[in-house]
Amino acid sequence: MTGIDWNQVRERFKQGGYALTAQRRLVYEALAQSGRCHTPHTLQAELEHLGINLTTVYRALEVLGELELVEHVHSTAAGHGYAARSGSHVHQLVCQSCGRVIEFHHCDLGPLIRRLARKHHFKVEHHHLELHGVCEACDTPQLGQEGHQSEMVRGSTTAT
């Protein structure tokens, strides 16, 4: 995520009936700026020097998830975690090696979803697509992990 639109974030909190506390802001900012998936424990370790404890991280993630500002990532190298969302209908490519999260839009699953819904007499309310593999930097031995960990890696792309 290249930049945080704090006006949009504040509006989401207002619409959801929540206050944007300093702690929630710090947790969201850490996720959004990293461009990676984090577990609650890795977030807490990163924010510990600011007085943020693990319970606060879990509570903040619960609210941020309810407001659709973060998304649960089901399987990463570090285990289950969370990543910031940049839009309302976003899917992810998740690197199993470094935790990098690349968002993409336009998954083109609409026709398949409609066909499955008709076939099974099922009303689909939403869907989530998360693809796991290895990013280019982790897959290319020359690039390795150095420098790769700290670069801003969250980017949007379109599925082809």
Number of domains forming the structure of the chain: 1
Domain-located, residue 36: yes
Burial status of residue 46 (CB atoms within 10 A of its CB: 0-12, 13-18, 19 or more): middle
* 3-class SS of residue 131: strand
CA distances from 160 to 3, 76, 128 (A): 25, 24, 17
Q: What is the pLDDT of residues 97-128, one digit of tens each?
A: 887 778 777 778 888 889 999 999 999 877 77
CATH number at residue 67: 1.10.10.10
Least confident of 22-26, 45-49, 75-79, 112-116: 75-79
Residues of the domain holding 102: 6-158
pTM: 0.64
